[in-house]
Amino acid sequence: MCIMHDTMNVYFDNAATTAVREEVIEKMVSVMRTDFGNPSSSHFLGRSAANELAVARKNIANALRAKPDEIYFTSGGTEANNWAIQCSAKMLARRGKHIITSSIEHDAVAEPIKMLEQNGWEITTLKTNNMGFIGSDAFADALREDTVLASIMHVNNETGAINPIEDYSREIKRRKLGTLLHTDGVQSFCKLPFAVNALGADLVSISAHKLHGPKGIGALYIKGGTKLPAIFLGGSQERGKRAGTEAMPAIAGFGEAVRLAQLEQEENTKKVTTLSEFTSRRLVEELPEAVIISDNGSPYILSISLPGYKSEVLMSYLESEGVCVSKSAACKKGARSRVLEAMRLKNDVIDGALRVSFSQYNTQQEAEYFVQILKKASLIIRK
């Protein structure tokens, strides 16, 4: 089947960020216009803002199957990751200085851990298997009596590979170790069904802008009883752990985005799964040379490659036809993917890789258009 369409705009870079949905925008505008008080103020406008803060916190806690007082708002996933890693290290340094992480972490995890290594910490960086995730046995083998922190992401932001966080947690408990387990849940929150108790992580980082909420707001789940030090000092906001007047419009928008995502999660997952499978099938049919890198991971992220082509050239042509995709994480700004390198893929596969990431608002018509434009690009560039 070869169906060409008039030029259309297709946004397939939802793992980088998503469009803010209208209901969230309306909620944020309402808070800015009406509930603009400081949540710490005792007058009626302060109480109204404090109520909005409590509702947002409860929505997020419900989505994680956590308690509201285990949710701490941050400026995003990067701050949440830095808080979890740096403050855990500060708290636990007397018990041991060994940390486990992986070769496929987002820079928001990799960089603070690198800084700790430069300051005398011993880091074990686990390699992925050929499917892109960290196996349970590899984690168990790396775990030691002096391992005070393990930080491994739940869903990889480039390939969609899912790490078995539950298995890591069970191994820590089986050996009766005091290791804190942190996971970057930015790409899995409200997309894959999980409860923090079942997941077993002590610390989970999440963000709003991957699920049709605003940028600049995220949260860190801190399991009850975990005495993580404060990240900012000053006022008593966030129960004394993160000082500073709360970003109420963004927090309210985050809470509303999560509430809606939870209501729609099952339906959206089915839709996106169908779309991802359709896109993979059409790519293989129309471009037999295409390599599907993703394997049994999150349906929201499809990693593909056209060996023999350059990602930048393919992306440039796709963009000229209205299609937005990426080659790796947006924060890498075009650098070669170390995630794909960690998977030990061939150089020509890495060099021709594209990340296609979906949202609930994408359609099969858009997917078909993408496939046809990519096929057209391959024929033109080959000449």
- Residues annotated as catalytic are 331
What lies within 8 Å, CB to CB, of 141 at 6+ separation is: none
* Closest to 264 measured CA to CA, from 193, 356, 195, 316: 193
Give the whole-angstrom CA distance, residue 79 versus residue 83.
6
Q: Which tokens go with 174?
A: 């089986």
CB neighbours of residue 17 within 10 Å: 17
**Which residues, other chains included, contact 106 with Cβ-Cβ below 8 Å and sequence gap of 6+?**
77, 81, 153, 157, 184, 186, 329, 331
Cβ distance 250 to 27 under 8 Å?
no
21 Cβ contact partners less than 8 Å away, ≥ 6 residues apart: 212, 257, 260
Alpha-carbon gap, residue 26 to 259, rounded angstroms = 14
Q: What is the DSSP letter of 84?
A: I
Q: What is the DSSP letter of 10?
A: E
Kindly provide the b/e burial profile for residues 217-232, where b requires at least 16 CB atoms within 10 angstroms of the residue's own CB: bbbbbbbeeeebeebe
Helix (H) or strand (E) holding 320: helix 311-320
Query: Tokens representing 335?
Result: 């650098």
Task: Judge whether 143 and 152 are in contact, CB under 8 Å.
Answer: no
